[in-house]
């Protein structure tokens, strides 16, 4: 039985390569969207207000022709605290189940999510040579929302930030198959001297996920 499940899982992993979400047409470079007021990502239904608590929206980017892959940046500027936050929403890899059990489909999703998370960690290491991975763990979804548990990693490195060269933390949180077909990624950067956990938690709790929008 386990051998059969392994074969089915392999088949799912192979067939997903030819699915629409894996072959969407990317732009040559990010397209910056000039939008005032709330921004709605129509494909997923996710909404991005101009402010999220003390964070102010700064930039919106589109990465593919269809507009399914976007990012929205927010910044928190306070006298004692500066945090840069970016939220990414984009299609999860499609899986062709062909009558497979829910267990096999879930295992395939978890495997693909782990591969995606490895890519996101590699992006931080590439952007910041010498960055040190100081924490990696599973995290629950904000406010007990549905979906697979998230993956979280924190890197430490030194760079210019807010005009000052200092030790920084880069945190990436990834949630896959939100509402069955969307990846939601949070990327935070802030000085290592800050205790930013409460601010990050509030920020994540504030934004509604695709499945929560009416």
Query: What pLDDT, on a 0 to 100 scale, did the predictor assign at position 37?
Result: 92
Contact by Cβ (8 Å): 197, 171: no
- Quick: pLDDT tens for 33-60: 999 899 999 999 999 999 999 999 999 9
How do residues 199-214 score in pLDDT, each as one tens digit? Answer: 999 999 998 888 655 4
pLDDT tens digits along 134-167: 999 999 888 666 656 799 999 999 999 988 899 9
Q: Which domain holds residue 134?
A: 2-212
Provide the domain count of the chain: 1
Assess contact for 57 and 41: CB atoms under 8 A. no
- The pLDDT value given to residue 105: 82
- Band of residue 104 on the pLDDT scale cut at 50, 70, 90: confident
pLDDT at 13 over 50: no
Confidence of residue 9 (pLDDT cuts 50, 70, 90): very low
Q: Is pLDDT at 12 greater than 60 in this prediction?
A: no
Q: Mean pLDDT across the chain, nearest whole number?
A: 85
Give the separation between CA 21 and CA 152, rounded to whole angstroms: 24
Is residue 76 helix, strand or coil?
strand
Phi, psi torsion values for 195, nearest 5 degrees: -95, 95
pTM of the model: 0.86
Q: What is the mean pLDDT of residues 164-181?
A: 94
Higher-confidence residue: 1 or 81? 81
Provide, rounded to the nearest whole percent, the portion of the chain with pLDDT above 70: 83
Name which residue leads in pLDDT, 14 or 94.
94
């Amino acid at each position: 039985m386990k051998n059969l499940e392994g074969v089915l899982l392999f088949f799912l992993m192979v067939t997903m390569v030819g699915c629409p979400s894996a072959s969407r047409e990317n732009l040559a470079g990010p397209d910056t969207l000039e939008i005032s007021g709330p921004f709605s990502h129509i494909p997923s239904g996710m909404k991005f207000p101009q402010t999220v608590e003390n964070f102010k929206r700064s930039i919106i980017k589109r990465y593919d022709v269809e507009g399914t892959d976007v990012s929205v940046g927010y910044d928190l500027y306070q006298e004692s605290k500066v945090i840069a936050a970016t939220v990414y929403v984009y299609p999860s890899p499609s899986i062709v189940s062909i009558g497979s059990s829910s267990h096999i489909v879930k295992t395939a999703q978890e495997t693909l999510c782990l591969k995606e998370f490895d890519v996101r960690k590699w992006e931080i290491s590439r952007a910041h040579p010498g960055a040190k991975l100081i924490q990696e763990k599973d995290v629950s979804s904000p406010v007990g929302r549905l979906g697979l548990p998230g993956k979280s990693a924190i890197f430490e490195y030194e760079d210019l930030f807010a005009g000052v060269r200092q030790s920084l933390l880069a945190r990436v949180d990834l949630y896959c198959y939100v509402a069955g077909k969307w990846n939601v990624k949070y990327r935070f950067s802030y000085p290592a001297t800050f205790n930013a956990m409460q601010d990050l938690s509030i920020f994540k709790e504030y934004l509604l996920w695709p499945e929560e929008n009416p």
